[in-house]
């Protein structure tokens, strides 16, 4: 997953984190389940959130 932190990020309770303008590029994995009829009914996404926050300028 890659992009640039360019829009406010929701932080809960109506608060937001202002964008830093920093780019990020992190590995991610997805696990999904499809029904016999075809549509996907579950999806789980995983990534290293510590690495993500470091790259966008919010973590150490």
For 25-39, write each residue's pLDDT tens digit: 999 999 999 999 989
Is 20 contained in some domain? yes
Cα dist. 44→17, 21, 40 in Å?
24, 27, 11
Q: What is the pLDDT of residue 60?
A: 84
Is 34 contained in some domain? yes
Closest CA to 44 of 60, 59, 33, 58: 33
Is 6 contained in some domain? yes
Number of domains in the chain: 1
CA distance 53 to 60: 8
Is 19 contained in some domain? yes
Report the pLDDT averaged over residues 6-21: 96
Is 60 contained in some domain? no
Token digits of residue 55? 């790259």
Q: What percent of the chain lies above the pLDDT cut of 70?
A: 100
Token digits of residue 52? 């993500």
Residue 12 has pLDDT above 90, yes or no: yes
Domain hosting 12: range is: 2-55
Q: What is the pLDDT of residue 44?
A: 97
Is 25 contained in some domain? yes
């Amino acid at each position: 997953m890659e992009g640039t932190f360019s829009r406010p990020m929701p932080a809960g309770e109506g608060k937001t984190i202002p964008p830093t303008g920093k780019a990020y590029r992190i590995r991610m994995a997805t696990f999904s389940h499809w029904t016999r009829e075809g549509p996907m009914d579950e999806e789980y996404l995983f990534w290293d959130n510590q690495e993500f926050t470091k790259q966008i300028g919010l973590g150490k």
